[in-house]
Amino acid sequence: MTFTSARNLLAILRLSTALARLRLTDKVAKEDVNEAIRLMEMSKDSLNQTEDRMVRPQGAVDKIFSVIRDLAGENKTVKLSEVMERCTSKGYKPDQVEECLEEYEELNVWQINQARTKITFV
Protein backbone atom coordinates (compact mmCIF):
# COMPACT_ATOMS: atom_id res chain seq x y z
CA MET A 1 0.00 0.00 0.00
CA THR A 2 1.09 3.52 -0.64
CA PHE A 3 0.62 6.59 1.51
CA THR A 4 -2.48 8.64 0.68
CA SER A 5 -2.41 12.28 1.69
CA ALA A 6 -5.40 14.53 2.23
CA ARG A 7 -4.54 16.24 -1.04
CA ASN A 8 -4.67 12.91 -2.90
CA LEU A 9 -8.01 12.04 -1.30
CA LEU A 10 -9.42 15.40 -2.34
CA ALA A 11 -8.18 14.86 -5.90
CA ILE A 12 -9.80 11.41 -6.01
CA LEU A 13 -13.02 12.88 -4.66
CA ARG A 14 -13.05 15.60 -7.31
CA LEU A 15 -12.20 13.20 -10.12
CA SER A 16 -14.87 10.70 -9.10
CA THR A 17 -17.44 13.51 -8.84
CA ALA A 18 -16.47 14.69 -12.32
CA LEU A 19 -16.79 11.15 -13.67
CA ALA A 20 -20.28 10.89 -12.16
CA ARG A 21 -21.21 14.17 -13.82
CA LEU A 22 -20.00 12.80 -17.15
CA ARG A 23 -22.50 9.98 -16.68
CA LEU A 24 -25.15 12.69 -16.04
CA THR A 25 -25.89 11.57 -12.49
CA ASP A 26 -25.71 13.26 -9.10
CA LYS A 27 -24.48 10.19 -7.22
CA VAL A 28 -20.91 8.91 -7.28
CA ALA A 29 -20.70 5.16 -7.85
CA LYS A 30 -17.95 2.81 -6.71
CA GLU A 31 -16.85 2.51 -10.35
CA ASP A 32 -16.30 6.29 -10.45
CA VAL A 33 -14.01 6.10 -7.42
CA ASN A 34 -12.13 3.10 -8.86
CA GLU A 35 -11.63 4.92 -12.16
CA ALA A 36 -10.45 8.06 -10.33
CA ILE A 37 -7.90 5.97 -8.39
CA ARG A 38 -6.76 4.33 -11.63
CA LEU A 39 -6.34 7.73 -13.28
CA MET A 40 -4.29 9.00 -10.34
CA GLU A 41 -2.04 5.92 -10.44
CA MET A 42 -1.56 6.18 -14.20
CA SER A 43 -0.72 9.85 -13.81
CA LYS A 44 1.95 9.01 -11.23
CA ASP A 45 3.26 6.16 -13.39
CA SER A 46 3.63 8.45 -16.38
CA LEU A 47 6.00 10.62 -14.34
CA ASN A 48 8.19 7.63 -13.57
CA GLN A 49 8.41 6.32 -17.14
CA THR A 50 11.87 7.76 -17.70
CA GLU A 51 13.19 5.94 -14.62
CA ASP A 52 11.46 2.69 -15.61
CA ARG A 53 13.10 2.62 -19.02
CA MET A 54 16.48 1.95 -17.43
CA VAL A 55 15.13 -1.18 -15.75
CA ARG A 56 13.92 -4.27 -17.60
CA PRO A 57 10.41 -3.44 -18.80
CA GLN A 58 7.74 -5.42 -17.00
CA GLY A 59 4.99 -7.13 -18.92
CA ALA A 60 1.35 -7.14 -17.93
CA VAL A 61 1.72 -10.50 -16.18
CA ASP A 62 4.57 -9.19 -14.00
CA LYS A 63 2.61 -6.09 -13.06
CA ILE A 64 -0.51 -8.11 -12.25
CA PHE A 65 1.61 -10.37 -10.04
CA SER A 66 2.80 -7.28 -8.14
CA VAL A 67 -0.79 -6.16 -7.64
CA ILE A 68 -1.79 -9.59 -6.31
CA ARG A 69 1.26 -9.76 -4.02
CA ASP A 70 0.44 -6.32 -2.59
CA LEU A 71 -3.20 -7.28 -2.06
CA ALA A 72 -2.27 -10.47 -0.21
CA GLY A 73 0.15 -8.69 2.12
CA GLU A 74 1.21 -10.63 5.18
CA ASN A 75 -1.90 -12.84 5.13
CA LYS A 76 -0.57 -14.67 2.06
CA THR A 77 -4.18 -15.11 0.87
CA VAL A 78 -6.45 -12.93 -1.22
CA LYS A 79 -9.94 -13.31 -2.68
CA LEU A 80 -10.02 -13.78 -6.43
CA SER A 81 -12.89 -11.29 -6.70
CA GLU A 82 -10.70 -8.60 -5.09
CA VAL A 83 -7.89 -9.41 -7.51
CA MET A 84 -10.17 -9.12 -10.54
CA GLU A 85 -11.67 -5.85 -9.28
CA ARG A 86 -8.31 -4.25 -8.53
CA CYS A 87 -6.68 -5.42 -11.77
CA THR A 88 -9.55 -4.25 -13.96
CA SER A 89 -9.51 -0.91 -12.16
CA LYS A 90 -5.83 -0.65 -13.10
CA GLY A 91 -6.69 -1.22 -16.76
CA TYR A 92 -5.85 -4.92 -17.16
CA LYS A 93 -8.14 -7.22 -19.12
CA PRO A 94 -9.63 -10.34 -17.46
CA ASP A 95 -7.75 -12.61 -19.88
CA GLN A 96 -4.44 -11.00 -18.82
CA VAL A 97 -5.32 -11.69 -15.18
CA GLU A 98 -6.19 -15.30 -16.04
CA GLU A 99 -2.87 -15.67 -17.86
CA CYS A 100 -1.03 -14.43 -14.77
CA LEU A 101 -3.01 -16.73 -12.47
CA GLU A 102 -2.22 -19.77 -14.61
CA GLU A 103 1.46 -18.91 -15.08
CA TYR A 104 2.22 -18.46 -11.39
CA GLU A 105 0.07 -21.43 -10.39
CA GLU A 106 2.15 -23.62 -12.75
CA LEU A 107 5.30 -22.23 -11.12
CA ASN A 108 3.86 -23.17 -7.69
CA VAL A 109 4.10 -19.60 -6.46
CA TRP A 110 0.47 -19.81 -5.32
CA GLN A 111 -2.45 -22.17 -5.28
CA ILE A 112 -6.02 -21.39 -6.25
CA ASN A 113 -8.72 -23.28 -4.37
CA GLN A 114 -11.04 -25.64 -6.25
CA ALA A 115 -13.95 -23.17 -6.21
CA ARG A 116 -11.61 -20.51 -7.69
CA THR A 117 -12.46 -17.98 -4.99
CA LYS A 118 -9.15 -17.67 -3.11
CA ILE A 119 -5.44 -17.43 -3.94
CA THR A 120 -2.94 -18.68 -1.34
CA PHE A 121 0.79 -17.99 -1.69
CA VAL A 122 2.98 -21.06 -1.14
What is the value of pTM for the model shown?
Answer: 0.55
Q: How many Cα neighbours within 13 Å face the side chain of 1?
A: 7
Kindly indicate the confidence band of residue 48, based on its pLDDT and cuts at 50, 70 and 90.
Answer: confident
Query: What pairing do the DSSP bridges indicate for beta strands 110-112 and 118-121?
Result: antiparallel
DSSP conformation class of 56 = P
The shares of helix, strand and coil residues in the chain, as percent rounded to the nearest 5, are 65, 10, 30
| Section 25-50 average pLDDT | 85
Length of the chain: 122
**Rounded Cα gap, residues 106 and 28, in angstroms:** 40
| Section 19-42 average pLDDT | 91
Per-residue pLDDT of 71-103, as tens digits, reads 888 888 999 999 999 999 999 999 999 999 999
**Rounded Cα gap, residues 25 and 23, in angstroms:** 6
| Section 34-63 average pLDDT | 77
